[in-house]
Amino acid sequence: MNVFLTGATGFLGGELLVSLAKEKDIKQIYCLVRAKTEDEGRKRVEKIFNLHKDHYSVDRIIPVVEDLLDDNLTQKLADNKRISDTNVIIHSAANTSFSRIYDTLIEKTNIQGLKKIIDWSKTLKHFDKFTYIGTATICGTGFKDKIVYETDSPDMNSQHFVKYTYSKMMGEFMLRENLPQEKLLILRPSIIMGDSRPWVPRSYVILWTLASLNLLRLIPVDKDSKLDIIPVDYASEAITKLVMAKNLKYNTYHVSSGTDSFTTPLRTTTVISKYYNDRPDFKFIDRSFVKQMKFWASGRLATDNELNNYKNYLDYWEKTMGDKSKIKILFAGLEPYFEFIELSQIFDNSRLLSDIDIKQSPPTHDYVKICAKYLDNIDIFEGALDP
């Protein structure tokens, strides 16, 4: 088997590359990477393996220096004879930003970029499978306090908080319209945060939100909302096993914590509070307070506003973070995450557990203690600027 992988330098893609490299049935792994030179591309790939001291085989892991945003990408890949023996494409590349300022770039990357890879796949003589790494959240905002099944999505009538989830939904429609069903494997991870192994996570993506909540301590979400979160090592293990599996029953799978391993804001914050007991207690308040928090950060909060009932937290914020403009940026970055938390969605994982040999994902409130010590290393304001 020869695999073509996009997104290898990303959070999930990096772990996936390392995992795939351990599979003996995979002969070559071609990695699409952005770089100015072949040597720079090789160094970027090598860095993925160096992080946790994994073995890097120069002969098996081949960088393909191209750009997903290049209008001529399809033709350039088709002209590259080195990768013409590709059997399996794993498309993990995506712009995952929740910020509206990147909406145009998200569409160019997640929809137009995908179309270029699809068009190239049609030129391959030995093409067997297109594995698309999507997201379980393509179900949209209509599923509140519900268990979501694979058959519930995609739905063109669904509503979305952010362009990212919409673009991943459109990607699924595009795949189903352009490729035979038997050549598709659509995998939908839920929220991927942190790593359950005892080392520094490859990326602080999503984990910055937990670091932010750990600093704020006054949190405008339902403490009992159900959160379907998995660690990146579980996601990469599941995806690798699905890619390597023979005779799968379905072509679409949730990679999620499901009904047995979901967490809640209360459970997770209770665990991390033990490591940061020099801060105010976690306090959960109604979602409606977000607007008032923004007013406070802008210096426009009325003296009789009910948010002033939590003055000890407001004073703590000013003492800890100082500049209110930074706090305003933080609230803006966190707001879409508050909206997702309030949906209280669980993504059914019975297909995953029945079709491959894999255990249930560890709950976040179990493995988060491994990540807890890294929370203060995270630049939460950088995360908020590009959520």
In the prediction, which pLDDT does 280 show?
A: 97
The pairing of beta strand 184-189 with beta strand 218-219: unpaired
* pLDDT of residue 387 exceeding 80: no
User: Per DSSP, which regions of the chain are E strands?
Assistant: 2-6, 28-33, 61-65, 88-91, 129-133, 147-148, 184-189, 191-192, 218-219, 229-230, 252-255, 283-284, 346-347
Q: How far apart are CA 275 and CA 56, in angstroms?
A: 36
* pLDDT of residue 354 exceeding 80: yes
Q: Could you state, in order of their start, the residue ranges of all structural domains in the chain? A: 2-189
Residue found under tokens 């599923």: 143
Q: In angstroms, what CA-CA distances link 49 with 20, 42, 64?
A: 12, 11, 17
In this prediction, residue 71 has a pLDDT band, given cuts at 50, 70 and 90, of: very high
Note whether 98 and 106 are within 8 A (CB): no
Q: pLDDT tens across 164-220, in order? A: 999 999 999 999 999 999 999 999 999 999 999 999 999 999 999 999 999 999 999
* pLDDT of residue 67 exceeding 80: yes
In the prediction, which pLDDT does 210 show?
A: 98
In the prediction, which pLDDT does 386 show?
A: 84
Question: b vs e for 31-56, b when ≥16 Cβ sit within 10 Å of the residue's Cβ?
Answer: bbbebeeeeebbebbeebbeeeeeeb
43 φ, ψ (degrees, to nearest 5): -65, -35
Q: State whether CATH 2.60.120.10 applies to domain 2-189.
A: no
Q: How far apart are CA 16 and CA 73, in angstroms?
A: 23
Work out the average pLDDT over 228-235: 99
Q: Which tokens go with 139?
A: 């179900």
Question: b vs e for 65-94, b when ≥16 Cβ sit within 10 Å of the residue's Cβ?
Answer: bbebeeeebbeebeeeeebeebbbbbbbbb
Work out the average pLDDT over 262-269: 99
In this prediction, residue 322 has a pLDDT band, given cuts at 50, 70 and 90, of: confident
In the prediction, which pLDDT does 261 show?
A: 98
In the prediction, which pLDDT does 367 show?
A: 98
Q: Which tokens go with 287?
A: 């979602």
* pLDDT of residue 225 exceeding 80: yes
In this prediction, residue 324 has a pLDDT band, given cuts at 50, 70 and 90, of: confident
In the prediction, which pLDDT does 326 show?
A: 86
In the prediction, which pLDDT does 172 show?
A: 98
- CB-based burial label for 356 (10 Å; 0-12, 13-18, 19+): middle
Q: What is the dihedral of CA 379, 381, 345, 130, to 10 degrees?
A: -70
In this prediction, residue 331 has a pLDDT band, given cuts at 50, 70 and 90, of: very high
Question: pLDDT averaged over the chain?
Answer: 97
Beta pairing partners, 29: 3, 61
Comparing CA positions, the residue from 75, 71, 83, 78 lying closest to residue 5 is 83
Say how many CA atoms lie within 13 Å of 355 toward its Cβ: 21
In the prediction, which pLDDT does 363 show?
A: 98
